[in-house]
Amino acid sequence: MSEAVAGEVRVGLVGYGVAGAYFHAPLVHATPGLKLSAVVTRDAARAEDAAGRYGAAVVPDVAGLWDLCDLVVVASPNRTHVPLATEALERGRPVVIDKPMARTAEEARALARLAAGGGLMLTVFQNRRWDGDFLTVRELMDGGALGEVFRLESRFERWRPVPKGGWRESGGPDEVGGLLYDLGSHLVDQAIQLLGPVREVYAESDVRRAGVLSDDDTFVALVHDGGARSHLWVSAVAARLGPRFRVLGSAAAYEKYGLDVQEERLRAGTPPDAPGFGEEPEERWGTLGAGERHAEVPTRAGRYLDFYRGVAACLRDGAPPPVSAESVVDTLTVLEAARLSAAERTVVPLG
CATH number of the structural domain spanning residue 297: 3.30.360.10
pLDDT, tens only, 161-171: 999 888 788 77
Same-domain pairing of 106 and 148? no
> Domain range for residue 132?
128-303+333-349
Same-domain pairing of 106 and 149? no
Rounded Cα gap, residues 53 and 58, in angstroms? 12
Of the candidates 181, 237, 189, the one whose C-alpha atom is nearest the C-alpha of residue 209 is 237
pLDDT band at 177 (very low <50, low <70, confident <90, very high): confident
Same-domain pairing of 201 and 214? yes
User: What spatial distance separates the first Cα and last Cα of the chain, rounded to whole Å?
Assistant: 29
Of the candidates 164, 224, 162, 169, the one whose C-alpha atom is nearest the C-alpha of residue 192 is 224
Q: Does residue 183 lie in a domain region?
A: yes
The 3-state secondary structure of 205-216 reads EECCCCCCCCCC
Question: Does residue 5 surpass a pLDDT of 70?
Answer: no
Rounded Cα gap, residues 121 and 115, in angstroms? 6
**End residue of a domain, out of 77, 97, 125:** 125
Same-domain pairing of 24 and 78? yes
Same-domain pairing of 82 and 194? no
Q: Are 18 and 46 in contact (CB under 8 A)?
A: no
Backbone angle region of 144, left / alpha / beta, with phi > 0 → left and psi within -120 to 50 → alpha: left
Rounded Cα gap, residues 349 and 329, in angstroms? 16
Give the count of alpha carbons within 13 A of 89, CB side only: 25
Same-domain pairing of 88 and 27? yes
**End residue of a domain, out of 125, 157, 184:** 125
Number of compact structural domains in the chain: 2
CATH number, domain of 99, equals 3.40.50.720
Rounded Cα gap, residues 277 and 95, in angstroms? 26
Q: Does residue 38 lie in a domain region?
A: yes
Judged by average pLDDT, the poorest of 72-76, 79-83, 168-172 is 168-172
Same-domain pairing of 55 and 81? yes
Q: Does residue 313 lie in a domain region?
A: no
Same-domain pairing of 28 and 143? no
Same-domain pairing of 190 and 101? no
Same-domain pairing of 88 and 161? no
Same-domain pairing of 121 and 222? no
pLDDT band at 6 (very low <50, low <70, confident <90, very high): low
**pLDDT reported for residue 1:** 40
- Chain centroid to Cα 95, Å, comes to 15
pLDDT band at 176 (very low <50, low <70, confident <90, very high): confident
Same-domain pairing of 211 and 298? yes
